[in-house]
Amino acid sequence: MKLYYSPGACSLSPHIVLKESGLAFEAIAAPTKTHQLPDGTDYYTINPLGYVPLLVLDDGTQLREGPVIVQYIADQVPAKNLAPANGTFARYKLQEWLNFTGTELHKGFSPLFNPAMPEEAKALSKTRLISRLQWVDAELAKSDYLMGDTFTVADAYLFTVTGWCGHVAVDISALTHLAAYRARVGARPAVQEALRAEGLIK
């Protein structure tokens, strides 16, 4: 398998999950600013949409969209318990977290990374984001991970997205449960490996 990623982008989530899975894969940098691969290839020739992540299976089949990719990876290694079994209510709860993170948090950051966005619009986005993160903080007071006592692919996604707060001046210092959660997830060996591989830590 090949994972196309951009350092620190949402593709960090499937990168973490692949490290957790133990599956063999090749990580290929596809920077979102240049869209040029290390060998000079134009990334648009591989993914016409130009964004990451993109998972390419050994037979050439492609999967886009992080929440889908991480579930696919989890289903290849069921013994790792990275996602509840398909068809169970717990799986739908996992998908609920993935969807919430994607629509309420991930997309909420988009205006903050856009230099053309008016400051007033950015302020509104920050207010909405913080209100959502306050709710997440309260949920994390109940358990170590989003799904209870077990790390799942939803945690890889939330960890990735909340890591952007410092880059766009979203102050979450008062959210103590979220801070403890981020420290807990960030200390996992697979997470450390993915962060090092993307050059985000030494």
pLDDT tens digits for range 167-198: 999 999 999 999 999 999 999 999 999 999 99
pLDDT in tens, 145-165: 999 999 999 999 999 999 999
Residues 97 and 163 in one domain: yes
Q: Note the pLDDT of residue 202.
A: 85
E runs forming strands in 92-199: none
Q: Under 8 Å CB-to-CB from 119, ≥6 apart: which residues?
A: none
Residues 100 and 176 in one domain: yes
Overall domain count for the chain:
2
**Order of all β-strands in the sheet with 62-64:** 26-29, 2-5, 54-56, 62-64
Sign of the CA dihedral with 28 first, then 33, 35, and 40 last: negative
Mean pLDDT, residues 37-53:
97
Q: Is the pTM of this model over 0.85?
A: yes
Give CA–CA dist 171/126, Å, rounded.
9
With beta carbons less than 8 A apart as the criterion, state whether 172 and 202 touch. no
With beta carbons less than 8 A apart as the criterion, state whether 79 and 62 touch. no
Tokens linked to 92: 């739908």
pLDDT in tens, 81-114: 999 999 999 999 999 999 999 999 999 999 999 9
Tokens linked to 93: 């709860």
Whether the per-residue pLDDT at 75 is higher than 90: the answer is yes
Which residue range is the domain that position 21 belongs to?
Answer: 2-81+190-197
Mean pLDDT, residues 127-141:
98
Percent of the chain with pLDDT over 70: 100
Which residues sit opposite 54 in a β-bridge? 4, 64
Mean pLDDT, residues 30-58:
96
What's the CATH number where 167 sits?
Answer: 1.20.1050.10
Residues 47 and 115 in one domain: no
Mean pLDDT, residues 118-127:
95
Domain assignment present for 202: no
How do strand 2-5 and strand 26-29 relate by DSSP bridges? parallel
Q: Note the pLDDT of residue 90.
A: 98
Residues 45 and 108 in one domain: no
Residues 70 and 121 in one domain: no
With beta carbons less than 8 A apart as the criterion, state whether 169 and 25 touch. no
Whether the per-residue pLDDT at 116 is higher than 90: the answer is yes
Residues 53 and 98 in one domain: no
